[in-house]
Amino acid sequence: MRPGVMHVVQVEAKPDGDRPRVEVVDEALWSATELHSAVLAGAITSGLVCALAGFAVGFYLGLREGER
């Protein structure tokens, strides 16, 4: 997270029932570059996991078929 992104709102020790504790964020949490790299990393990771899972299931089914 980039420094200076969060703005903390001071609340008293015992807030009233009507006043929720909140943090106000008035700018983007991530830059466009950080978001792009996170999406790309997620896509690559999920693709690899799915490929490995497909390979494992195919190998298992091939072993079962070979025993017949």
Tokens read off for 10: 């001071």
Distance, in Å, from the CA atom of 32 to the CA atom of 28, rounded to the nearest integer, reads 9
Give the per-residue pLDDT at 11. Answer: 59
Q: Is 4 left (phi over 0), alpha (psi -120 to 50) or beta?
A: left
Helices (H), 1-68: 32-67
CB-count burial class (<10 Å; 0-12, 13-18, 19+) for 61: exposed
| pLDDT tens digits, one per residue of 8-67 | 666 565 655 666 678 887 888 889 999 999 999 999 999 999 999 999 999 999 998 887
